[in-house]
Amino acid sequence: MGERQPWITRLLSRSLFDARWLMAPFYLGLVAMLGLLLLVFAKELFHGIAGYAGLSSSDAVLLALSLIDLSLIANLLLIVILAGYENFVARVESGSERRPSWMGTIDFSGMKMKLMGSIIAISAIAMLRIFMVLENGGTFDEHTLRWMIVIHTVLMLSILILAVSERIFSPLRRPPDTGSP
């Protein structure tokens, strides 16, 4: 058996380990934000339904894009809430068969990939919305549009680099296969 550590080391170790609970209020705040997004989603949907008679096909597509955008942001929040809580605070014990299959299996690296994928989808929807406005004769600041394209391109390159680096370095992090079950 190992040598017993000094009391100060044990106290410090325990304090640092227990500090993970300071993250719980952050996740609760994100849950509140998820509720707020639901209200915004319901408002957008209600306005779309209430004004359906005056909606052009382009307006309907823009409404759909707005709702998809809100859904993607909500998914992003949910991934951060559940995976972040499980990775950094404590295991989520739902006691239910309805538990999503990815819960408990997604690591920090997988969470980063899911987040980046969602962010790129949100960025693409924002750009598609602008292009639809331009297609319908609307105007948009050219300088802002260029920056949006640059940012979207940088996001895509970032996820590509992240995916390649994960592919290269993930075998280095895996424990060696011992051949026994």
Per-residue confidence band for 134, with pLDDT thresholds at 50, 70 and 90: confident
In tens, the pLDDT along 76-101 reads 898 888 888 887 788 777 666 676 66
- Residue 40 neighbours by CB distance under 10 Å: 13
Task: For residues 124 and 69, give the distance between their C-alpha atoms in angstroms, rounded to a whole number.
Answer: 10
pTM of the predicted structure, to 2 decimals: 0.70
pLDDT digits (tens, 9 = 90+) for 21-70: 889 999 999 999 999 999 999 999 999 999 888 888 888 888 998 999 99
**How is the chain classified by DSSP, letter by letter?**
-PPPPPHHHHHHHHHHHHGGGGGHHHHHHHHHHHHHHHHHHHHHHHHHHHTGGG--HHHHHHHHHHHHHHHHHHHHHHHHHHHHHHHHT------STT--TTTTT--HHHHHHHHHHHHHHHHHHHHHHHHHHHHTT----HHHHHHHHHHHHHHHHHHHHHHHHHHHHHHHHSPPP-S--
